[in-house]
Structure 1
Amino acid sequence: MKDFTRELSYKTSRSSGAGGQNVNKVETSVTVLWNVQESGFFNEFQKNLIQEKLRNRINAEGFLFLTVSESRTQLANKNKATDKILEIVNKALVVPKKRLATKPSKAQKQKRLDTKKKLSDKKENRKFKY
């Protein structure tokens, strides 16, 4: 898991929703920002992969952003936001293996044909014979 937390920047704002006085007074919501193209931590291939897979989360200026307002404290939200953005980016870097086309073995083909024959015989025996 790659840790690029040095390149992250944070913005705080007031959380929305229930919470009473705490929500009205304290900026507990945390938005984490990361400029994908300016990153010195990843190579060009990795940056392009991140931009392709996370294009819905990257704004016009090229910043990947994520807002967290789950907790009542700013520090807890900052930690959760950092963990989530690291997880999202590391998942985006995974390149799935290419599927290799395989052929069924002779035994598998024979088993399939035997099963078909048994089913056919079973249905044939159901018919009324004069």
Structure 2
Amino acid sequence: MIEITPRLAIAEDEIAVTFVRASGPGGQNVNKVSTAVQLRFDARNSPNLPDGVKARLVRVAGSRMTQDGVIVIHAQRHRSQDRNREDAVERLVALIREAAYVAPPRRKTRPTLASKERRLASKEKRGAVKRLRQGRPPGD
């Protein structure tokens, strides 16, 4: 089991990992060894994710989620398969952890009387400064 939060975990058999050839620098090694990792996680059909987390995961994953509800993560930062696999799993855990967080609802607040008075006083002061700057015609 891969622990996401203390109350949420996913089974390791829900994750499909394939190794592909990495692009970019790496010399001859990049042409011989498949070090990049493509991780696939079927979020829509996962029995371990609550419905609310699944719904938020669609928004959080964005373009990393396919139409079928499968999250695809491509990791090739490191030169070894093991480190790339760990990196891909960590990124998946971070995505699910972000989707598992529910922001507390915003409570409506009203400005205090003192803050209203401060605002009106500053407006009055600013208006007075602008009135003093107005050019008065001579003899007025």
TM-score normalised by the shorter chain: which range applies? 0.7 to 0.9
1:3 is displaced (CA, Å) by 3.9
Of 60, 65, 68, the match for 2:72 = 65
Provide the residue aligned with 2:10 in structure 1: 4
Query: TM-score with structure 1 length normalisation?
Result: 0.86
Distance 2:57 2:19 in 1: 25
**What is the aligned residue count?**
130
1:118 corresponds to which letter in structure 2?
Answer: K
Of 46, 59, 67, the match for 1:39 = 46
Task: Determine what percentage of the aligned residue pairs are the same residue.
Answer: 27
1:111 is displaced (CA, Å) by 0.5
Provide the residue aligned with 2:131 in structure 1: 124
1:5 is displaced (CA, Å) by 5.3
Q: Which runs of 5+ in 1 are unaligned?
A: none
Query: TM-score with structure 2 length normalisation?
Result: 0.81
Distance 1:127 1:9 in 2: 74
Distance 2:66 2:134 in 1: 68
Moved over 4 A (4+): none
Distance 2:67 2:119 in 1: 55
Q: Which has the higher contact order (CA 8 A, sep 6+)?
A: 1
